[in-house]
Chain A
Amino acid sequence: MSLNGQSKIPQILKNHEAEVLADWLGEQMAAGIRKDLLKEIELREECREFLELFTDAIQQGNLTNIQSTEWRSVREMLTSVSRTRTQKGFTPTETANFVFSFKQPLFKRLRQELGQNGEALVEEILSASNLIDKLGLWTTEIYQKTREEVILRQQEELMELSTPVVKLWEGILALPIIGTLDSARTQIMMESLLEMIVQTGSQVAIIDITGVPTVDTLTAQHLLKTVTAARLMGADCIISGIRPQIAQTIVYLGVDLADITTKASLADAFVLALKRSGFAIARSKPTI
């Protein structure tokens, strides 16, 4: 704190609000804002709002703890700024610079006002710098959090996308699996498969694992469980898409898939499924 125990910053900000705002805007424009992502008028509005809330908050005299109630509106404001910038595609540096660029105009003003009093100037600059660092880090934290939320949402969406059950023919379902077959996916896959078996009254389900890069014992176990569950519902399963290297690996691993009908390709499995359902495919005269 300054010599009389009270920071001069609130008073200075109040007296020179317009100049500080202009300087700050100039600072950001000179550093180059992303004109493709943010309009100048929006930036001006954000700066004005921040400065207003910042002045209000700093007047309460708490320059060390930005998690306190005095700083709540500033935090909320920065949260929304950080969130919109994350969504617009700003980098973390660009987002944090919104706050960090405030240092220059503020320090300039402090120097002008307290230039005579070296000790007070150093004190004020130190505490202001600390404060702005904390606010800048806060925007980075929100940036990170917003990103994590996006990732989490995408994971969930991917999970739903990745387990479609399609009807190939009357009484024949197919379940193409792409990617890693972990417990969570197996659960969703089993649920949607069993649901579709009931809905369509299907007798045969083809599980295609062409898109599964690694079949280890856990994947095999998940497949076995799915097949057993489908069998309990009265549907037979065929596993297709077993590539030569996967076949060899399964043999070495010692996993027993002998109880399950397997085919190399989805086409083979489909022909078998049709045969089992009593359909025959015949070639008529080609029309093309």
Chain B
Amino acid sequence: MQKNEIISINSSSDVVLVRQAVRQFAVELAFSLINQTKIVTGASELARNTLEHGGGGTVNIEALDRGTRRGLRLTFEDSGPGIPDIELALKDGFTTGNGLGMGLSGTKRLVNEFEIVSRVGEGTRITITKWK
């Protein structure tokens, strides 16, 4: 199967494309239905964040194969304004837009690994990994 795919996120229809691509990867990796749903939902949240807060960016979808362990890693990158206070951003209910403020914190709970690197004025990179 294809090991990785990069999709640019520049409009809300791209968010749908990201969801579909991630779902396809998850199906090919034979993720269980619940894990498929979790990683797709997480991808949807982060793709929308990339679009709305980062002003657009890219996602790199990678299929991981570590012997018996297989997983899916998504790396969202944008060159937007960055996140000044990551701890605050990860708090349930905190939002700078008019959403629910659950996207980032919720995504963290949906996946196994969650890494966030952000520099104010330079951009943000969020990497999530879901193991099978």
B100 touches A217 (CB 8 A): yes
Question: Which chain B residues numbered 82 to 106 have a C-beta less than 8 Å away from chain A?
Answer: 92, 99-100, 102-103, 105-106
Nearest neighbor of B106 in chain A, beta-carbon distance:
A253
Determine if A245 and B34 form an interchain contact, defined as CB atoms under 8 angstroms apart.
Answer: yes
- A221 touches which of B19, B36, B41, B99 (Cβ 8 Å): B99
Q: Is the interface of B mostly helix, strand, loop or mixed?
A: helix
Closest to A220 in B: B100
Given A249-B110, A253-B110, A255-B100, residue A216 in contact with residue B34 (CB < 8 A): no
Q: Are B34 and A255 in contact (CB under 8 A)?
A: no
Query: B40 on the interface (CB 8 Å rule)?
Result: yes
* Interface positions of A from 237 to 264, Cβ below 8 Å from B: 244-246, 248-249, 252-255
**What is the total of A-B residue contacts with beta carbons within 8 Å?**
65
B48 contacts A by Cβ under 8 Å: yes
Give the one of A182, A245, A249, A253 with max B CB within 10 A: A253
Residue pair B92, A254 in contact (C-beta under 8 Å): yes
Shortest distance from the beta carbon of A263 to any chain B beta carbon, whole Å: 19
Residues of A within 8 A of B14 (CB): none
Are B106 and A245 in contact, CB atoms less than 8 angstroms apart? no
Contacts of A248 in B (CB 8 A): 34, 37-38
Chain B residues positioned under 8 Å from A221 (CB to CB): 99-100
B99, A217: Cβ atoms under 8 Å?
Answer: yes
Query: Which chain B residue has the least Cβ–Cβ distance from A216?
Result: B44
B16 contacts A by Cβ under 8 Å: yes
| B110 A252 Cβ-Cβ under 8 A | yes
Given contacts A253-B106, A254-B105, A255-B106, contact A217 B45 (CB under 8 A): yes
A180-B16, A214-B19, A214-B44 given; A245·B37 CB < 8 A: yes
CA distance A245 to B35 in the complex (A): 8
The size bracket of the interface on A is 20 to 34
Interface of A is mostly: helix
Q: Compute how far the CA of A252 lies from the CA of B41 in the bound complex, rounded to whole angstroms.
A: 10
Q: How far is the CA of A218 from the CA of B101 in the complex (A)?
A: 10
**How far is B92's CA from A249's CA once the two chains are assembled, in angstroms?**
16
A221 to B48 Cα, complex, angstroms:
14
* Neighbouring A residues of B103 by C-beta, 8 Å: 216-218, 253
Of the candidates A183, A246, A254, which one forms a contact with B109 in the assembled complex, judged by CB atoms under 8 Å apart?
A: A254
Instruction: Please tell me if A215 contacts chain B, counting CB pairs below 8 Å.
Output: yes
Measured in the bound complex, the distance between the Cα atoms of B38 and A244 in whole Å is 12
Contact A252 B100 (CB under 8 A): no
A254 to B16, CA, bound (A): 22
Bound-complex Cα distance A269 to B12 (A): 32
Chain A residue contacts of B48, Cβ below 8 A: 216, 218
Min CB distance, A187 to chain B, in Å? 13
Per-residue CB proximity of B29-61 to A under 8 Å, as 1/0? Answer: 000011011101100110010000000000000
**Interchain CA distance A183-B97 in the complex, whole Å:** 14
B92 adjacent to A216 (CB under 8 Å): no
Instruction: Tell me the complex Cα distance, A118–B110, Å.
Output: 74
- State which of A182, A246, A255 has its C-beta within 8 Å of the C-beta of B37: A246
**Neighbouring B residues of A216 by C-beta, 8 Å:** 41, 44-45, 48, 103
Report the Cα distance A194→B75, complex, angstroms.
41
A214-B21 Cα distance, complex, nearest whole Å: 13
Cβ contacts A to B, 26 pairs, < 8 Å: A182-B12, A214-B19, A214-B40, A214-B44, A216-B41, A216-B48, A217-B102, A217-B106, A218-B99, A221-B99, A245-B34, A245-B37, A248-B34, A248-B37, A249-B37, A249-B110, A252-B38, A252-B106, A252-B109, A253-B41, A253-B102, A253-B110, A254-B105, A254-B106, A254-B109, A255-B102
Pick the 6 closest A-B CB pairs, nearest first: A253-B106, A245-B37, A216-B44, A252-B109, A245-B34, A217-B102
A residues sitting closer than 8 Å to B (CB atoms) are 180, 182-183, 213-218, 220-221, 244-246, 248-249, 252-255
